[in-house]
């Protein structure tokens, strides 16, 4: 299949591209489009055949349900069997925006959307191209992130092209996305709202409106013996090709451990990628032209760090490193979602910075899995 790149970076001239995209979707095709969070891979949410082709194009397990995008709250809620008061409150406060609400699904929602669950996740995206496309298409669009399953979500049309060219009909290019992390997913099918995925809407904003909310962390079947509430939590995610290690601990120790591993890479001539904040890059005196270092942004600006996180993972991967070492990020606001994504991308390969220092851990030790110390 030949994938078409449709330019919608200039809103004044984007109408034709959006018309063409809507037409492809009406015929049951797949179109990637920008949202404020990440690019989505859109298909008609009422068309089972089109929905199955989303799973095929991404290589996505069929039990991982899709988020349905609508042009406004009434149209989003028409996909639900019932809408709790809290859903109306959240929609009033945060839509259009980076928040997906899980509600009991209406009978019209195809099984391909819900992955066999009795619920449906809906959201109204805050992006002019996404909203124009939804209006023009005049129907709900199911859209997972437009990456190959397991890879970092795409924050530019180029990322989508890299993963899905030849597998989908078209990409609407709306430039780089603003938030850079996927939407926050909140389950409202239970009496206490539960955050199934941290994301573009900070937890603090939800808590201000709802009071305390539950945050799902260990909802894997193996962890709890309970049915999975968010199937997405089961799978490897956001991962670069190279093994990724995340340094955690207090700030000073993390920066020292980064420095130790960076010097080791330079001394031994190893191809190691480094993902770090501006502050750490300054302290390590990193050469700005170093192809294997990617500076996320200032530590004090988690929004900026979030915006560049996936682009950074993809950028480093393109340099074909043997290993990537990331500075652990945490804190409030989007910092918490960034920490979550890094940890998932590293699949548990967290390095305690104080141990790295105490044991003098080298990159070779990491790569060969040598139990150091
Ligand atoms: O920002 C976003 O949410 C992006 C853009 C394109 O809108 N979309 C996105 O979709 O990230 P995806 O498919 O990559 O992630 C959807 C997440 C998965 O973790 C999935 O398990 C969860 O939402 N999800 C979807 N429907 C659900 C449901 N009915 N119940 C529980 N979790 C659900
Ligand atoms: Mg995804």
pLDDT in tens, 341-355: 999 999 879 999 999
Q: Among 232, 237, 337, 344, which is best to mutate for testing ligand 1, by the most ligand atoms less than 8 A from CB?
A: 232
Q: Among 39, 65, 168, which is best to mutate for testing ligand 1, by the most ligand atoms less than 8 A from CB?
A: 65
The answer on pLDDT for 221 being more than 50 is no
What's the rounded mean pLDDT across residues 216-221?
Answer: 56
The answer on pLDDT for 81 being more than 70 is yes
What's the CA-to-centroid distance between 99 and ligand 2, angstroms?
14
Q: Please name the helix (run of DSSP H) or strand (run of DSSP E) that holds residue 146, with its range, or none.
A: none
What's the rounded mean pLDDT across residues 310-327?
Answer: 96
38 lines ligand 1 (CB under 6 A): yes
Give the pLDDT band of residue 319 (cuts 50, 70, 90): very high
Among residues 68, 57, 21, which one has the least CA distance to residue 173?
A: 21
Mean pLDDT computed over every residue of the chain: 93
Q: At what angle do helices 15-26 and 128-137 cross, to 10 degrees?
A: 50
Q: Name which of 128-137, 141-150, 302-311, 346-355 the model is least confident about.
A: 346-355
The answer on pLDDT for 119 being more than 60 is yes
Q: 346, 244 in Cβ contact below 8 A?
A: yes
What's the rounded mean pLDDT across residues 38-63?
Answer: 96
**Tokens 């015929």 sit on residue:** 27
Give the pLDDT band of residue 223 (cuts 50, 70, 90): very low
Give the pLDDT band of residue 12 (cuts 50, 70, 90): confident
363 lines ligand 1 (CB under 6 A): no
The answer on pLDDT for 301 being more than 60 is yes
| Nearest listed ligand to the Cα of residue 181 | 1
Q: Name which of 12-16, 34-38, 223-227 the model is least confident about.
A: 223-227
**Ligand 1 atom, smallest distance to 189 CA:** 30
Give the pLDDT band of residue 369 (cuts 50, 70, 90): confident
What's the rounded mean pLDDT across residues 108-132?
Answer: 97
Question: HSE of 197 in the Cβ direction (CA atoms, 13 Å)?
Answer: 24
**pTM score, two decimals?**
0.95
Q: What's the pLDDT at 198?
A: 96
Q: What's the pLDDT at 229?
A: 62
For the chain, the C-alpha Rg in angstroms (whole number) is 21
The gap from C-alpha 68 to its chain's centroid, in whole angstroms, comes to 16
Q: Name which of 113-122, 240-249, 270-279, 364-373 the model is least confident about.
A: 364-373
**Tokens 């013996």 sit on residue:** 225
Q: Whose CA is nearest to atom 24 of ligand 1?
A: 65
What are the backbone angles phi and psi of residue 160, rounded to the nearest 5°?
-65, -45
Q: Token pair for residue 369?
A: 């899995």
What's the rounded mean pLDDT across residues 208-229?
Answer: 67
Q: Whose CA is nearest to atom 31 of ligand 1?
A: 230
What's the rounded mean pLDDT across residues 77-97?
Answer: 98
Q: Among 76, 182, 234, 239, which is best to mutate for testing ligand 1, by the most ligand atoms less than 8 A from CB?
A: 182
Q: What's the pLDDT at 123?
A: 98
119 lines ligand 1 (CB under 6 A): yes
Question: HSE of 280 in the Cβ direction (CA atoms, 13 Å)?
Answer: 29
Question: How close are the terminal C-alpha atoms of the chain, in Å?
Answer: 53
Q: Token pair for residue 109?
A: 């929602």
40 lines ligand 1 (CB under 6 A): yes
Residue list, CB under 5 A from ion ligand 2: 145
194 lines ligand 1 (CB under 6 A): no
What's the rounded mean pLDDT across residues 122-151?
Answer: 97
Q: How far apart are CA 247 and CA 355, in angstroms?
A: 10
The answer on pLDDT for 205 being more than 60 is yes
């Amino acid at each position: 299949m030949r994938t078409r790149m449709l330019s919608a970076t200039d809103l004044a001239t984007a109408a034709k591209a959006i018309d063409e995209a809507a037409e492809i979707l009406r015929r049951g095709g797949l179109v990637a489009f920008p949202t404020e969070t990440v690019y989505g891979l859109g298909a008609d949410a009422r068309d089972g055949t089109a929905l199955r082709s989303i799973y095929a194009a991404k290589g996505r397990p069929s039990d991982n349900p899709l988020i349905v995008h609508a042009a406004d709250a009434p149209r989003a809620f028409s996909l639900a069997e019932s809408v709790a008061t809290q859903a109306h409150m959240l929609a009033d406060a945060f839509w259009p925006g980076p928040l997906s609400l899980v509600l009991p699904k209406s009978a019209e929602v195809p099984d391909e959307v819900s992955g066999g669950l009795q619920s449906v996740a809906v959201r109204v995206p805050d992006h002019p191209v996404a909203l124009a496309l939804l209006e023009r298409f005049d129907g709900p669009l199911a859209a997972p992130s437009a990456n190959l399953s397991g890879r970092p979500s795409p924050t530019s049309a180029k990322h989508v092209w890299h993963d899905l060219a030849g597998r989908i009909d078209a990409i609407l290019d709306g430039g780089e996305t603003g938030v850079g992390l996927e939407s926050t997913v909140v389950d409202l099918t239970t009496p206490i709202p539960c955050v199934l995925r941290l994301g573009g809407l900070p937890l603090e904003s939800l808590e201000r409106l709802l009071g305390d909310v539950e945050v799902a962390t260990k909802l894997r079947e193996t962890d709890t013996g309970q049915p999975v509430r968010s199937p997405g939590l089961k799978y490897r995610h956001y991962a670069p090709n190279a093994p990724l290690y995340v340094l955690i601990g207090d700030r000073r120790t993390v920066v020292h451990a980064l420095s130790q591993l960076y010097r080791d890479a330079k001394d031994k001539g190893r191809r190691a990628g480094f993902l770090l904040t501006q502050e750490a890059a300054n302290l390590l005196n990193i050469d700005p032209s170093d192809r294997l270092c990617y500076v996320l942004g200032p530590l004090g600006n988690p929004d900026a760090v979030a915006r560049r996180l996936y682009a950074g993972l993809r950028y480093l991967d393109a340099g074909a490193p043997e290993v990537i070492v990331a500075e652990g990020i945490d804190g409030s606001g989007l910092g918490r979602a960034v920490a979550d994504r890094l940890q998932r991308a590293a699949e548990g390969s967290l390095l305690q910075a104080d141990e790295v220092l105490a044991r003098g851990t080298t990159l070779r030790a990491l790569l060969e899995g040598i139990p150091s110390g």
